[in-house]
A and B are shown apart, each in its own frame.
Chain A
């Protein structure tokens, strides 16, 4: 496995306090921009059910799953409201030249 930085989109394509879906290969990710203009990335599916978190609601650093209202901290991946129990995997995220990059293993 070889970690690589992959370009996701322009930073301003993600609204403040919002999330976008990013598919790469066979994987899907959720890339967040918090109310404090910080960017984070987690696995795209909720760990409780196969639901895209990108359809959910970002509140500060919290992402709420669109189907069952489970919540995670998008910075740490920690599950903070049931039915979410298992934490999300997180990925290093950076902004360079106005673009969002995430580091994933290829």
Chain B
């Protein structure tokens, strides 16, 4: 373990990418809890029913709250109506995007692809580039120089994270990428994980996204009201905060450069409403260890492996009681991270010890 913490370069094109390669952290073998094959097959089984049910509820809730927001436009009632609509549109779409990107939410492929593409549009994400980004995140989870989806690099930008509750950082970045893609440009970072044969498709789909936003802006200008934008392009700014609250809990403040999801990922118990909105991604250790298990089977998977994983957090409050002090501490001591305690008798996965960055003990 390093005793001195040197500032790290989290970009995918910097020296850390080579360092990760040299340390055997790229496309490495990761720890997996032992689950009997027959049981795992049961858990991996695909169904359309749960995701159709949940999608119908989601769409009905969106249309209902959207209609109320429309009716209340121009009154104070529009504020709560759009607040709920915004969360359903801008936050809930993230979990749908995520599950459908894995292709596990529905059994039927076109249903996954349809929801994935709609959610990508809502979230200002290029569906092609992000599919590859997320594949990389699963290959090299929180490996510096490899994972493009590290939300809290050390030292963390807490101000930026808070601004992102209103997508002030992510929104313009996402939109900027869509614009750049539509002009045929992909960043060097994107080119690192998106294969060349996918570049033209990524640019084409960006043009479609941009055209839809342009049509909505045109419509808003024509009627002299921002109302169309409030329904389509703006909810990501005023309604994505819950996604940020959920997403930060997944890995922030935990170990980097380890090959064991028990050490760099959190599982948090949540109430049924949050679990509906988040599609059970609170079982995040389970999801990372067995990405083939659909969201609706994650609670059962958790029961199978909970004796082999660190104690889950009792809720968001308990998780943030750990995360907030950890992130504040990391601004001063970037070498600090939260060490997850493995259950008694569980051994550290070979490859995890000695590669993590920082501590011993910070700074």
Which positions in A face B, CB cutoff 8 Å?
15, 18, 48-50, 56-57, 59, 64, 66-69, 71, 81-83, 85
Contacts and interface: CB of A to CB of B under 8 A. Distances in A.
| B contact residues, range | 20 to 34
B104 A69 contact: yes
Contacts of A83: 131-132, 135
A81 B197 contact: no
B329 interface: no
Contact of A66 (B27, B103, B292): B292
B41 A57 contact: yes
B138 interface: yes
**Top 5 A-B residue pairs of the complex, sorted by shortest distance between their CB atoms:** A83-B135, A68-B135, A57-B44, A69-B102, A69-B103
Interface of B: 27, 37-38, 41, 44, 46, 102-104, 109, 131-132, 135, 138-139, 195, 197-198, 290-292
A68 B109 contact: no
A80 to B, nearest CB: 9
A45 B112 CA distance: 25
A67 B195 contact: no
Contacts of B103: 64, 69, 71, 81
B139 A67 contact: yes
Nearest to B197: A85
Q: Is the interface of B mostly helix, strand, loop or mixed?
A: helix
Contacts of B104: 69
Contacts of A66: 290-292
Given A64-B292, A82-B132, A83-B135, 14 more contacts: A18-B41, A56-B292, A57-B41, A57-B44, A64-B103, A66-B290, A66-B291, A66-B292, A67-B138, A69-B102, A69-B103, A69-B104, A69-B291, A85-B197
Contacts of B109: 81
B291 A82 contact: no
A81 B46 CA distance: 16
A83 B104 CA distance: 14
Contacts of A82: 131-132, 135, 198
B131 A57 contact: no
B292 A69 contact: yes
Contact of B292 (A15, A48, A49, A57): A57
Contacts of A15: 38
Contacts of B197: 85
A68 B291 contact: yes
Nearest to A64: B292
20 contacts: A48-B135, A49-B27, A50-B27, A56-B292, A57-B41, A57-B44, A64-B103, A66-B290, A66-B291, A67-B138, A67-B139, A68-B135, A68-B291, A69-B104, A69-B291, A81-B103, A82-B131, A83-B135, A85-B195, A85-B197
A15 B139 CA distance: 29
Nearest to A85: B195
B122 to A, nearest CB: 21
Nearest to B128: A82
A50 B26 CA distance: 10
